Structure 1
């Protein structure tokens, strides 16, 4: 029984106490009738309290069946895992963790309400705190918006990386396009600072912490690239030996 259920029973119990007081006052000259009605109220309360867990289990089981039918109809091509199937103390009736069998570490929380309507109320993840060199993998779930069962997962490949203190910079290929992701990482937390995406077969640049980062797609056709800094400076670089690598330079000396 969760805190909401405790409040529910407290309010009902409080109402019954008030009811008994009112009955005793109105029927103060007919004590036997007052006692009988009061005992009936108490018996009903005790019976409801005793039956409540079974009612919760039955309601949860019915909503599980509704959710199964909904997911089978909405996502016939997916293999989805739903839990908990059986209600246990501490669970919330009609709320289920759902994930694609191919992504067991992340999923959504779906709620089935009294009318049988299904809605997403949250996402969940059981991924352990990643190593600094692996934080880029988190991008697969946040790229293009919050995760949902409808979301098409991006194809992301790490090509190169650069780490300095709490800064991690990754050269990535996202859905065939060159990209640079800048992350802040520490023991207290980590997060994406900036994501810069280019076009397939081109190159992409990003600036962070006084440095310029360049990633040239392996399929880039030209022999040189012209790089412009945010301040308007430019530099021409040869590409044959630099493709597929993350280039890093101090802005003051690089440009």
Structure 2
């Protein structure tokens, strides 16, 4: 049992003791009645405490069927992994971690209430510490709106990368548009420092730690591309030579 359940049963037990005490006061001249009532209350309390774990298993199994039916009805063309299928000690009845089988590293937490209604209570990732080269994959979960089963995931493709110590930079395309993601990475942790996504052009740039990073998409047709850098100056690059590559200027 979890702490809240232990407290609940202690309070119920206290209530039973108060009822028993009251029964002995009321039936002090009819001891047999008091004994019978005491026996019924104690046996009933002990029986319920003993049966409660099996009750949780039964309720959880029912809610598993409800959440499975909800997912099959709401998303008929998708397959999901739902855990835990069976109640185990330490779980909370009616709460499930659900992920699309195509995205096993991220998913949502769903709760089935007493009326059989399914609600999302949160989202999650596996939380594994990524390699420096795989940092960009975190955008599959973090980019855009908060993750839900209804969210249309962006298509994110890595095109190039540049690593210098803890500074890690990726050239990407996000939903077909060029982008640059800048990360800081160490054994102690990692974090996204900057993300620039082109809005209407096929090139993008950003700056970090006295470096300027430029990415020109392979579909760009002009010979040169002009950027406004951090200093306020305009920089032109040979797009023909650097298309599809992450250009780093110190």
Pair in the same fold by TM > 0.5: yes
Q: When the two structures are superposed, what TM-score results if normalisation uses the length of structure 2?
A: 0.93
Q: When the two structures are superposed, what TM-score results if normalisation uses the length of structure 1?
A: 0.91
Task: Output the CA distance in 1 between the equivalents of 2:218 and 2:46.
Answer: 73
Quote the offset at 1:27 in angstroms.
3.4
- Tell me if the contact between 1:196 and 1:206 (Cα under 8 Å) persists in the aligned partners: yes
1:170-200 per-residue CA deviation (whole Å, 9 max, x = no partner) reads 0001111100011121222222221100146
| Paired residue secondary structure (1:90) | coil
Task: Output the CA distance in 2 between the equivalents of 1:201 and 1:218.
Answer: 12
Task: Give 1:187-206 correspondences, 5 Å limit.
Answer: 187-199=187-199, 202-206=202-206
Quote the offset at 1:23 in angstroms.
2.7
Task: Output the CA distance in 2 between the equivalents of 1:25 and 1:120.
Answer: 51
Root mean square deviation of aligned Cα: 1.7
- Tell me if the contact between 1:201 and 1:217 (Cα under 8 Å) persists in the aligned partners: no
Q: Which runs of 5+ in 2 are unaligned?
A: none
Q: Which runs of 5+ in 1 are unaligned?
A: 251-255
Quote the offset at 1:29 in angstroms.
3.9
| Paired residue secondary structure (2:182) | strand
Alignment length (residue pairs): 250
Instruction: Out of 187-196 and 69-78, give the one that drifted further.
Output: 187-196
- Tell me if the contact between 1:178 and 1:200 (Cα under 8 Å) persists in the aligned partners: no
> Aligned residue for 1:134?
134
Task: Output the CA distance in 2 between the equivalents of 1:187 and 1:68.
Answer: 40
- Tell me if the contact between 1:132 and 1:168 (Cα under 8 Å) persists in the aligned partners: yes
| Paired residue secondary structure (1:240) | helix
| Paired residue secondary structure (1:241) | helix
Task: Give 1:28-107 correspondences, 5 Å limit.
Answer: 28-107=28-107
| Paired residue secondary structure (1:140) | helix
Q: Confirm or deny that 1:239 pairs with 2:239.
A: yes
> Aligned residue for 2:116?
116
Task: Output the CA distance in 2 between the equivalents of 1:13 and 1:249.
Answer: 73
Q: Per the alignment, do residues 199 and 221 of structure 1 end up closer, same or farther by CA in structure 2, a change over 3 Å counting?
A: farther
| Paired residue secondary structure (1:19) | helix
| Paired residue secondary structure (1:40) | helix
Quote the offset at 1:244 in angstroms.
1.1
- Tell me if the contact between 1:201 and 1:218 (Cα under 8 Å) persists in the aligned partners: no
- Tell me if the contact between 1:78 and 1:100 (Cα under 8 Å) persists in the aligned partners: yes
Quote the offset at 1:26 in angstroms.
3.5
- Tell me if the contact between 1:200 and 1:217 (Cα under 8 Å) persists in the aligned partners: no
Quote the offset at 1:201 in angstroms.
5.7
Task: Output the CA distance in 1 between the equivalents of 2:6 and 2:193.
Answer: 43
1:209-233 per-residue CA deviation (whole Å, 9 max, x = no partner) reads 2221111111111111222123421
> Aligned residue for 1:253?
none
Task: Output the CA distance in 2 between the equivalents of 1:201 and 1:219.
Answer: 10
- Tell me if the contact between 1:97 and 1:108 (Cα under 8 Å) persists in the aligned partners: yes
> Aligned residue for 2:158?
158
